[in-house]
Structure 1
Amino acid sequence: MKRYAWLGLVGGLMACGGSDDKPEPCPGTEAMSLPPMSSSAAYSSAALPAEDGAQDVIISFRQRVFATAQANTDAFADEVTRAGGVVRRRIPSLNMLSARLSPEAREALARNPDVVSVSPNRKVHALGLSRPPLPAQALLGAEPRPAPNTVGSVGEYTEGLKMVQANQVWDANNDGVLDEGRPSGTGIKVCVIDSGWDNRHPELQAAFIGGKDFISGSANALALDAQVDVAGNVLLWGGGHGTHTAATIAAQLGAGGRVRLGDDPNGTVGVAPTTSLLIARVLNERGSGNTDDVIAALEWCQQQGANIVSLSLGASSENTAEKEAFDLARANGVLAIAATGNSGANKVAYPARYDSVVGVGAVTFAGEWASFSQYGEGTNLVGPGVGVLSATILGGAPYGEVAASGQQFASNPLEYSAVGAYSGRMVDCGLGGSISDCGEAATCDGFVAYVDRGGGILFEEKVRNAIQAGAKAVIIGNHTAEEGAGNFTLNGPSSRWVPTVSVSLESANILRGMVGQEVSLDVNGLDYTLQTGTSMATPHVTGVAALVWSLNPEQLDAEMVRSALLETARDLGPTGWDPNYGEGLVQAAEAVEYAEGLLTPPAP
């Protein structure tokens, strides 16, 4: 069915005149609008005051004469309230609370002799350079926690895992089975302070022992965009950052989610696959959170008995309250490990920069410093952080398939593409600058649109025009050979998007010759994805720390484990410590051997 709007004849029939026709959008697509332009969250060094001057802060105060820390905190919270502040969170063990203060309240508290410091409740951000997962949803709940697997396959051993020697520690004969009696993380609790987790993922269910959501206040730490849908029974899952980092640490052997064709069906295995995981959610689906949530999560991790805390997040500025919290955690015997940041600047992000925290930068699988990895004072170690394969939200990893005339073409779904499959006749829509670019071959009955990249036209405009012309699926042909299929975006979610992929210049040249033929396009979601950032390097170091500590949880402590990591790292830069690599690449086998030398020999 073709659609045209006749513009009518001006002044009746004209001897040399005819009529112009202009294609109209297909029914149901007329009001389709573009999503708003997205922007990446920049680091915020402070919590900026509102127009009325009110500001979110963290207040540290002196211990009073009250019997308990909670009573002490409650008493001070009352004073903040009387001064005109609105208390947001209490952190009793640290004599801290966060509040929103007017300028007058800040002045009143500045005169209070019991106030030690007032710090901005600044934003913190995830330090991964990943794309958001595809939209995915599932019913609430997960299977009962299974026992950890000890048998899998060597195909689960990722490049990052092998680079840090983890499998050499617990699978010396390389048969895909955990070696009995060798350290693999058992007896160690790692607390992952991040964006939560997907409790449905088979890689993590055996490791999880407890969680808390510091954004919503719930006790499940699930990575959710929203709690329920309109029916009240479906959860909408958010970003996979926390799932990815947690699985890098503790994904188990033989668990197996949905993998890309040709990959090992067992999925991946973590650096310390029998470690116990505590999950603290402080980052929302956009990868942003608040400093007081991080501090409160750190307090909770210690209350749960965590040995190690892993933080793939940071901010650009130091924070007095945060520093105090991490200093105290170290004094309490907790090993904190954090990412240095992704701006490539000669300045390490916080909390990684604090002396009480092990700061982790990123390298490629070739052992070369990753250009995005922040460096300088505070860089202690590096780990693999480029193209790291790990678990993500179930069905959240984009995967596209294009088939025509018996040929398969590699493709990448555009960010925010719809999920689904469609087969139809392929129509050339040129640069996709308007509905009419698809020509008379386009019908509202549906077709596969082929659109060339370029022309100064945004991808979302190209795809919108193709959809309004009747396309039920869209293929974007790249015009640059060096980029392969490319990694492009539709710039925001929309219920109107259709399955949309990009193909390489080579594939585009072939597909143009198939215009008019039947083409199949399928965009679906996998359970594993590649991500890049110091966020990905950090859990590798965390996992190695868990391995080392599990050698003897009773005799070893945080300082001994820290020394084992630093003293045995493989030097990658100039001899000794340097700002890009710190002490070097963490090495599990050498660190475990070093730790064995620290143990007290058994009595004869």
Structure 2
Amino acid sequence: MKRWVWLGVLGGVMACTKVPGNKPVEPENVCPGTEQLSLSTPLQSQKAQPQEDGAESVLITYRPRASVSAKVSADAFADEARRMGADVKHRFSSINTVAARVTPETRAALARNPDVLHVEPDRPVHAFALPSSVLPSLVLGVGPNTSGSTGEYTQGLKQVQAPDVWDNGGDGVLDTNAPTGSGITVCVIDSGWDNRHPELAAAYAGGRDFLDNDDEPLDQGKENGVIVWGGGHGTHTAATIAAQLGAGAHVRPGEDPNGVVGVAPTVKLLIARVLNTNGDGSTSAVIAAMEWCISKDANIVSLSLGSSEPSEAERLVFEKAHAEGLVAVAATGNRGTPNPSYPAAYATVIGVGAVDFNGERASFSQYGPFVKLVGPGVGVLSATIMGGAPYADVQSDGTRYPSEPLEYTAVGAYTGKLVHCGQGERVASCGEGATCDGFVALVDRGGGILFQEKALNAIRAGAKAIIIGNNTTEDGAGNFTLTDPEDYWVPTTSVTLASANTFRGMVGQQVTVDVTGLDYMRQSGTSMATPHVAGVAALVWSACRALTHEQVRDILFESAADLGDTGRDDLYGHGLVQAKRAVDLALQRCPPPAP
């Protein structure tokens, strides 16, 4: 249970704290300017609030009208829905559907209309990545780099054999005439992108924001009138497909300064933003994005998102895309159950599950007959929002200690005297040495106290940086969170049990805590596996443009590395996608050029 801390100001710098067990304690000294910090204001719910009139968002699909163009039919359907009281938001001419807000009375009337096939909720969709957190825009349209370094070849990239296709010599240079994705366009339907990231500048071929209804699909939103960047989900998936050689940004110390390279480094990307900065979106936005991808002549569409419920209107638009010759790839979801997610489970979509770098199914990856292929989905390194991946460095007297930043930590560096604050259950826990002039707080994990509560108590005592000492060897330095993305946190990191024991013997010494923002991060989820498959599909098609979309699908299935039970199974589908085997098979089946 979350423990709430409330503060009443007494004498300007005194507060009364309510602790677990509801036992009041003596007032504590709190540093000036920190007494207003409280956990008593929960985050606003991201769920849509009900309207006073009981209206809901729905998708209305009509029966096709013979001898009438799709556009005329869509206009007529929209007009008819309005006459019945619907507030029409979108028209989808390719599937005879409109998205609208309707009252219960209007919905009941629509259901009785013989021209209406079905009325269904405009259900929410969500990103399928697991949680892990100002530069000028780049000049777009430049050609892709053809050389970099083999250090850019991530574990996932090598697991799907991509370098074996376009860097047979292993020298960090794209082989002449090798399939690299050239001539192929992949439409990424996700949370948008960071247009400042050098990994994606060359690949970007256009975009559309289906939340803000403009042509700038940036992974941004507004909070209290201030523009904030999202979590980088769309940037991560797009870079897995198309990051280019030699285009490095700010990397973790010890990693290749050139960053990463995508599965198909010369492919073109269309970016469709349908998810907000929390990773949430709607079915109508996905349908609109699919129609847009089709209209832009995309070859492949990649969706690292979905819902646990099917949608008839959504199924229709994916059937339309399939009929138009697109290859659709979607994530199966992260609930670790045999329940399907959509669109991955539609027959016209390649549903993708996740495996780790040993080829074992990830425990979170959903399984069932809807799984067609699997790809790397555990700890996948790719680009993210510029500066959006905090990296922690703790040093003392020239010695560096392994550490991990807490989610939502502030970015910055501070050097000060180390003070042990015990388990941080009270402001007074920091004891002797704590001063409002600042110090580095060492706080022990444990005690049934939330990390954010520990951090707030240390901050009220005057801490300008915090080190959480782990109390177990099982998870190294840990992977913790401050829970709430508020603006009062200080640089906060966690260290291993061994380091925590060392720091307890260093109380009073000068310690530096430095949390900086990196431009790459590791993420897990079927979201991360999906773009690997989309990228391999792009390599197959760039090896032979004469292949049909059905042939590309068959080649991906037949060339996959069989995992689990022999043959196709519900855990791994046809197996782990393999670029080299798929391209070789594509070249074998490629029809000779016409005379």
TM-score range, shorter chain: over 0.9
Residues 219-269 of structure 1, C-alpha deviations (whole Å, 9 max, x = no match): 011000229966xxxx52111100000000000000001101111000000
Residue aligned with 1:242, SS: helix
Alignment-derived partner of residue 558 in structure 2: 567
Report 1:113-128 matches (<5 A): 113-128=114-129
Residue 36 of structure 1 contacts residue 492 of structure 1 at CA under 8 Å; is this kept in 2? Answer: no
Indicate yes or no: 2:223 matched with 1:218. no
Cα separation, partners in 2 of 1:603 and 1:317, compared to 1, 3 Å: closer
String of CA shifts for 1:24-49, please: whole Å, max 9, x gaps: 211111111127557999xx9xx997
- Secondary structure of 2:443's counterpart equals strand
Structure 2: gaps spanning 5 or more residues? 1-9, 14-24
Go from structure 1 to structure 2 and tell me whether the alpha carbon gap of 1:386 and 1:85 turns closer, same or farther (over 3 Å shift). Answer: same
Indicate the residue corresponding to 2:571 in structure 1: 580
Aligned residue for 2:228, secondary structure, equals strand
After superposition, the C-alpha distances for 1:76-128 in whole angstroms (9 at most, x for unaligned) are: 21221221111121112221111111111112212222212212111111000
Deviation at 1:374?
A: 0.1
Q: How does 1:123-134 map to 2 (within 5 A)?
A: 123-131=124-132, 133=133
Distance 1:387 1:115, change over 3 A: same
| Deviation (angstroms), 1:601 | 2.2
Which is worse superposed, 578-587 or 402-411?
402-411
* Residues 21, 77 of structure 1: alpha-carbon distance in 2 compared, 3 angstrom cutoff: closer
Do the aligned partners of residues 560 and 21 (structure 1) sit closer, same or farther apart at CA in structure 2, a change above 3 Å counting?
closer
- What does residue 12 of structure 1 align with? none
* Corresponding residue for residue 348 of structure 2: 356
Partner residue in 1 for 2:3: none
Q: Report the Cα distance in structure 2 between the residues aligned to 1:73 and 1:278, rounded to whole angstroms.
A: 26
- Cα distance in 1 for partners of 2:278, 2:80 equals 35
Closer, same or farther: CA 573–82 of 1 in aligned 2, 3 Å: same
**Structure 2 residue corresponding to 1:473, chosen from 460, 465, 477:** 465
Residues 155 and 6 (structure 1), Cα distance of their counterparts in 2 relative to 1, 3 Å cut? closer
Distance 1:108 1:6 in 2: 62
Q: Distance in 1 between matches of 2:49 and 2:114?
A: 25
Q: 1:422 aligns to what?
A: 414
AA matched with 2:564: G
Match of 2:7 in 1: none
1:56 is paired with a residue whose SS is: strand
Aligned to 1:497: 489
- Residue 143 of structure 1 and its aligned partner are, at CA, apart by 2.6
- Number of equivalenced pairs: 576
- Once residues 502 and 66 of structure 1 are traced to their aligned partners in structure 2, the CA distance between those partners, rounded to angstroms, is 67
Instruction: Output the CA distance in 2 between the equivalents of 1:226 and 1:396.
Output: 17
Distance 1:524 1:580 in 2: 39
Partner of 2:20 in structure 1?
A: none
Does structure 2 retain, via aligned residues, the 8 Å contact 1:347–1:377? no
Does 2:143 correspond to 1:142? no
Cα distance in 1 for residues equivalent to 2:572 and 2:432: 59
CA distance in 1, matches of 2:263, 2:26: 64
In structure 2, C-alpha distance between the alignment counterparts of 1:144 and 1:227, rounded to whole Å: 28
- What is the aligned partner in structure 1 of residue 64 from structure 2? 63
CA contact (8 A) 1:69 1:93 kept: yes
Quick one: distance in 2 between partners of 1:48 and 1:519?
47
Q: Among residues 249, 258, 264, which one is paired with 1:257 in the alignment?
A: 249
After superposition, the Cα gap between the structure-2 partners of 1:140 and 1:183, relative to the gap in structure 1 and judged at 3 Å, is same
Within 5 Å, which residues of 2 pair with 1:480-559? 480-553=472-545, 555-559=546-550
Residue 29 of structure 1 pairs with residue 28 of structure 2: no
Number of the residue aligned with 2:586: 595
Which whole-Å deviations, capped at 9, do the CAs of 1:513-537 have from their partners, x for residues lacking one?
Answer: 1010000000011010000000000
1:75 Cα deviation after fit: 2.1
8 A Cα contact 2:12 2:32, kept in partner? no
Aligned AA (2:206)? G
Residue 579 of structure 2 aligns with an amino acid whose one-letter code is A
Q: Secondary structure at the match of 2:501?
A: helix
Q: Which sections of structure 1, spanning at least 5 residues, go unmatched?
A: 8-19
The one-letter amino acid paired with 1:318 is P
Task: Report the counterpart of residue 246 of structure 1 in structure 2.
Answer: 238
RMSD: 2.3
Could you tell me how far apart the structure 1 residues matched to 2:507 and 2:42 are?
Answer: 32
Q: How do residues 317-466 of structure 1 correspond to structure 2 at under 5 angstroms?
A: 317-466=309-458
Against the structure 1 CA distance between its residues 415 and 227, is the aligned structure 2 distance closer, same or farther, given a 3 Å change threshold? closer
Among candidates 135, 142, 149, match of residue 153 of structure 1: 149
Residue type of the alignment partner of 2:139: E
State the alpha-carbon separation in 1 of the partners of residues 351 and 54 from structure 2: 35
Q: 1:263 to 1:139 in 2, by over 3 A?
A: closer
Contact 1:35–1:494 at 8 Å: present in 2 too?
no
Mark the CA change 1:119 to 1:21 in structure 2 (over 3 Å): closer, same or farther: closer
Q: Which amino acid in the other structure matches residue 289 of structure 2?
A: A
The one-letter code of the counterpart of 1:33 is S
Give the corresponding residue for 2:86: 85
1:345-378 deviations in whole A, cap 9, x for unaligned?
0122111001100000000100111111000011
In structure 2, do the counterparts of structure 1 residues 139 and 414 end up closer, same or farther at CA, with 3 Å as the change threshold? same
Query: Kindly, what percent of the aligned residue pairs are identical?
Result: 60
Following the alignment from structure 1 to structure 2, what is the Cα–Cα distance between the partners of residues 205 and 381? 29
Deviation for aligned residue 1:146: 2.1
Distance 1:100 1:40 in 2: 21
CA distance in structure 2 between the partners assigned to 1:228 and 1:458 by the alignment = 27
1:154 maps to a residue whose letter is: T
Which secondary structure state, in structure 1, belongs to the residue aligned with residue 394 of structure 2? Answer: strand
Which runs of structure 2 are paired with 1:185-204 in the superposition (5 Å)? 185-204=181-200
